[in-house]
Amino acid sequence: MTLLAAFFRMVRYPNLIYIALTQFLLQYCVVAPVLQNSGAAPSLSFAHFLMLCFSTVLVAAGGYIINDYFDINIDLVNKPDKMVVEKIINRRWAMAWHTLLNMAGVSLGFLVAFQIGQFYLGFVQVFCTLLLWFYSTSFKRQVLIGNVAISLLTALSVVVVGFYEKQIYESFEAIMSLAGRRLIQIIGVYALFAFVLSMIREIVKDMEDMIGDSKDGCRTIPIVWGLRKAKNFTMLLMVLLQVLLVAIMVVVITKTWYIAAAYILLMVLLPFTLFVQKPLMTAYQPAHFHKISTWIKIVMLTGILSMIFFKLLL
């Protein structure tokens, strides 16, 4: 494996593409159409939005690196063939890249915030870098806290796009306007979807990594609660997600967006039920949980792509 290929694996480039795609679709399929329908325009120019998106991606990349840095002992057990840090890229270089990417990401975030006159928004990226650091060093080894932290960051990658819109930060009157309320409702639904689905995936990943995690002293949900209780808790989250999806379908149908409702049913709800929820009931080997985790990422992608319907229907 070349160093460049190893670097891209270390920063989890498919996940970074997910983040960038989510933010682009949210900005240009949801935010822009909602504002244009009310006679307004997005607060961020294309250049500023690109900088914000790049800032988020850089911070996430730094987070993946620091996670691998502190997970060497776990990865030696769970996935020795996929290790990059220490095996291909020296730990010092990994830490150097982590620092460089974080500094670049935070700097870009502050630059965008400064240029739109809302300097304090730059601290969102600072919060993300700190949370990723503490997740890698301690939170992920504690019951539930690590899962919540990552799920919160996943939701935040959605919400941060809204933070930079005047209808959100300018005034209470702007928030209560028709455009402001619609933005909050739509962004909030996608953020909730991302949070719950990320929670489910994180717990499934903990089930997959139980052997290595236990040897490193981690106290993840399946280790502390046991596999059966962990599955039951995950099933509860899955039911909550299904209720959310059904509620969205009902709202969409009342707007006569029948194609969008059919998409949610066929491309999000059914795959989730058939390939995530149902297999989890009988899964017990790491390979089973890995396959379920992969399907969760597919469902997350189809859920993200549903934003296209707002561009077509709004």
Residue-wise pLDDT tens digits, 157-173: 999 998 888 777 766 66
- Give helix 13-25 / helix 145-163 axis angle, nearest 10°: 40
Residue 258 pLDDT: 95
| Average pLDDT score over residue span 52-71 | 95
Q: What is the pLDDT of residues 170-229, one digit of tens each?
A: 666 666 777 778 888 999 999 999 999 999 999 999 999 998 888 888 899 999 999 999
Predicted confidence band of residue 1 (pLDDT cuts 50, 70, 90)? low
Return the ∠ at Cα 307 (arms to 148 and 13), rounded to 5°. 55
Residue 171 pLDDT: 61
Residue 7 pLDDT: 92
Are 193 and 241 a contacting pair, CB within 8 Å?
yes
Amino acid letter at 78? N
CA distance 197 to 14: 17
Could you give the percent of the chain with pLDDT greater than 70?
97
Domains of the chain (ranges, CATH numbers): 3-313 (1.10.600)
First to last CA, the chain: 47
- Alpha carbon 44 to chain centroid, angstroms: 22
Q: Which residues of 76-94 are buried (b: 16+ CB within 10 A; e: fewer)?
A: eebeeeebbbeebbeeeeb
| Average pLDDT score over residue span 279-307 | 96
CA distance 170 to 251: 29
Residue 103 pLDDT: 97
Could you give the percent of the chain with pLDDT greater than 90?
75
| Both tokens assigned to 239 | 């039911």
Residues sharing a CB contact under 8 Å with residue 36, sequence separation 6 or more, in sequence order: none
Among 12-26, 67-81, 252-266, 267-281, the minimum mean pLDDT is found in 67-81
- Model pTM score: 0.94
Q: What is the pLDDT of residues 240-292, one digit of tens each?
A: 999 999 999 999 999 999 999 999 999 999 999 999 999 999 999 999 999 99
Q: What is the pLDDT of residues 103-126, one digit of tens each?
A: 999 999 999 999 988 899 999 999
- 88 beta partners: none
Quickly count: other Cβ atoms within 10 Å of residue 122's Cβ: 18
| Average pLDDT score over residue span 46-67 | 96
